[in-house]
């Protein structure tokens, strides 16, 4: 009998212990312990981590900063497209820090959510964007504060920020409002590299500057200066911009209908011209690669920007090179993605959404129309297939579901597609 009572007591004790364990709250594993650990080296050039340039501005002025909720809407849309790396441009405004907050919230909601950032730090010269004479040989005093902000955000969000870009088209000489000499960019790149060495910045963060191909030595020899060579050696990789669309006006050596091409169908003529546009972009990147190689330097090269506007009432539209419409934009986007994925280069395609603030006084200006989505969340022709596949089901922008431009009517779209001029006409007008 005593033995039976003893056994019953033991059973009761085990039951009590098990009940207590079940009543205890389960230990929550912090997200940073269960989320994938990746570095810039892991994701740049990896086609599983597509990249895009992103500005979430929806109004005519950047005085209206997107809310965290609006940014989360956009990030979910881009994530559905397999975008995993976003590029921002400055940390002076709240936009970049709010993007980081939005990504952090999404990661807290879903530990498997992945989105990373190429964080831009804006650099300009003395008196840039003022009514005072600019001095391209002296940098703005604000640059130091901008770099400090970038470092602080990188340290606050080490799981998200994987690249810091010092300047955006900050060395190209046609940026007359603000460009600086290469020594300024070199100064801040070297500073950030030093912080990595001393443990004040993650050693895994890659440092670059994002600039026009000419600024990286791929064009005019005036850029071939000693400080550029030092800069090429100092960065972790080169971030290069190439814009064939702009050169349909400024340097249309590849643009138009050539010779016997007039005998082709309309769509074939357009496709042939767009293939040359893609080849033109490739040649600009190759020119930088050749220059870097001539210096005895071996550094990765990725595309910091390229894109094609879907509309222009200026140089690139009906009265100019007839380059801009959604059909040509789609062809260029697909060619560029195919090329860069095959070449194991990241391409921060410009850009995700139309941003009407860029040319607020001219709604038809091309700068307002580089997005793959309109400002109200309609997917342009390049993304119609994704809409058909249901990729954006349940997602919204501004509370509206993602639908196709032109209501998905291809005939209506093609009514606005123009043939490039024949080459002899270009020769006469340029």
Residue 415 has pLDDT above 80, yes or no: yes
pLDDT in tens, 211-257: 999 999 999 999 999 999 999 999 999 999 999 999 999 999 999 99
**Nearest by Cα to 113 from 65, 146, 80, 88:** 80
Least confident residue range of 15-24, 73-82, 112-121:
15-24
Residue 2 has pLDDT above 90, yes or no: no
Average pLDDT value for residue range 187-201? 98
pLDDT recorded at residue 35? 59
Backbone angles phi, psi at 400, to 5 degrees: -100, 140
99 close to 56: Cβ distance less than 8 angstroms:
yes
β-strands 50-53, 348-349 pairing: parallel
Average pLDDT value for residue range 277-290? 98
pLDDT recorded at residue 36? 73
**Nearest by Cα to 351 from 307, 311, 320:** 307
Mean pLDDT (the chain, rounded): 92
Q: Which domains does the chain have, with CATH numbers?
A: 30-429 (3.20.20.80)
Q: Give the number of C-alpha atoms closer than 13 A to the C-alpha of residue 343, restricted to the C-beta side.
A: 17
For residue 81, give the 3-state DSSP assignment: coil
pLDDT recorded at residue 83? 98
> Cα dihedral sign for 212, 216, 220, 222?
positive
pLDDT in tens, 164-191: 999 999 999 999 999 999 999 999 999 9
Q: How confident is the model at residue 424 (pLDDT cuts 50, 70, 90)?
A: confident
Q: Give the number of C-alpha atoms closer than 13 A to the C-alpha of residue 360, restricted to the C-beta side.
A: 8
Residue 352: DSSP 8-state: S
pLDDT recorded at residue 423? 85
pLDDT in tens, 123-139: 999 999 999 999 999 99
396 close to 230: Cβ distance less than 8 angstroms:
no
Distance CA 161, CA 97 (A): 11
Average pLDDT value for residue range 58-66? 98
For residue 371, give the 3-state DSSP assignment: coil
pLDDT recorded at residue 331? 98
pLDDT in tens, 338-394: 999 999 999 999 999 999 999 999 999 999 999 999 999 999 999 999 999 999 999
pLDDT recorded at residue 107? 98
Residue 289 has pLDDT above 50, yes or no: yes
pLDDT in tens, 89-114: 999 999 999 999 999 999 999 999 99
Percent of the chain at pLDDT exceeding 70: 90
pLDDT recorded at residue 16? 40
């Amino acid at each position: 009998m005593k033995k039976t009572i003893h056994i019953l007591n033991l059973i009761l004790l085990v039951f009590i212990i098990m009940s207590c364990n079940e009543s205890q709250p389960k230990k929550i594993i912090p997200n940073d312990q269960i989320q994938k650990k990746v570095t810039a080296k892991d994701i740049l050039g990896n086609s599983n981590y597509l990249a895009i340039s992103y500005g979430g501005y929806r109004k005519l002025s950047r005085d209206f900063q997107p809310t965290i909720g609006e940014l989360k809407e956009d990030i979910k849309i881009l994530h559905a497209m397999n975008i995993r790396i976003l590029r921002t441009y400055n940390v002076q405004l709240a936009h970049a820090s709010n993007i980081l907050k939005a990504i952090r919230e999404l990661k807290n909601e879903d530990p498997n959510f992945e989105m990373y950032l190429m964080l831009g730090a804006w650099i300009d010269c003395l008196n840039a964007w003022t009514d005072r004479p600019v001095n391209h040989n002296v940098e703005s005093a604000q640059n130091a504060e901008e770099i400090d902000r970038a470092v602080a955000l990188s340290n606050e969000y080490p799981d998200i920020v994987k690249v810091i870009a010092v300047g955006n088209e900050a060395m190209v000489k046609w940026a007359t409002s603000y460009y600086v000499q290469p020594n300024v960019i070199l100064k801040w790149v070297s500073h950030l590299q030093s912080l990595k060495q001393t443990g004040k910045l993650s050693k895994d963060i890659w440092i670059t500057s994002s600039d026009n191909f000419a600024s990286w030595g791929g064009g005019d020899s005036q850029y071939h200066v000693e400080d550029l060579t030092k800069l090429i050696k100092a960065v972790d990789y080169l971030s290069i911009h190439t814009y064939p669309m702009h050169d349909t006006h400024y340097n249309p050596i590849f643009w138009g209908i050539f010779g016997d091409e007039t005998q082709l169908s309309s769509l074939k003529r357009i496709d042939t011209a767009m293939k040359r546009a893609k080849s033109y972009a490739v040649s600009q990147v190759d020119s930088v690669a050749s220059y870097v190689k001539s210096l005895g330097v071996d550094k990765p090269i990725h595309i910091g920007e390229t894109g094609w506007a879907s509309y222009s009432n200026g140089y690139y539209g009906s009265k100019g090179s007839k380059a801009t419409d959604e059909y040509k934009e789609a062809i260029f986007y697909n060619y560029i993605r195919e090329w860069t994925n095959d070449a194991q280069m990241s391409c921060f395609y410009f850009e995700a959404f139309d941003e009407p603030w860029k040319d607020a006084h001219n709604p038809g200006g091309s700068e307002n129309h580089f997005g793959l989505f309109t400002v109200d969340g309609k997917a342009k022709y390049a993304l119609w297939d994704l809409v058909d596949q249901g990729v954006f089901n349940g997602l919204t922008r501004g509370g509206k579901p993602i639908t196709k431009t032109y209501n998905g009517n291809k005939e209506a779209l093609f009514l606005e597609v123009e043939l490039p001029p024949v080459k002899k006409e270009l020769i006469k007008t340029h």
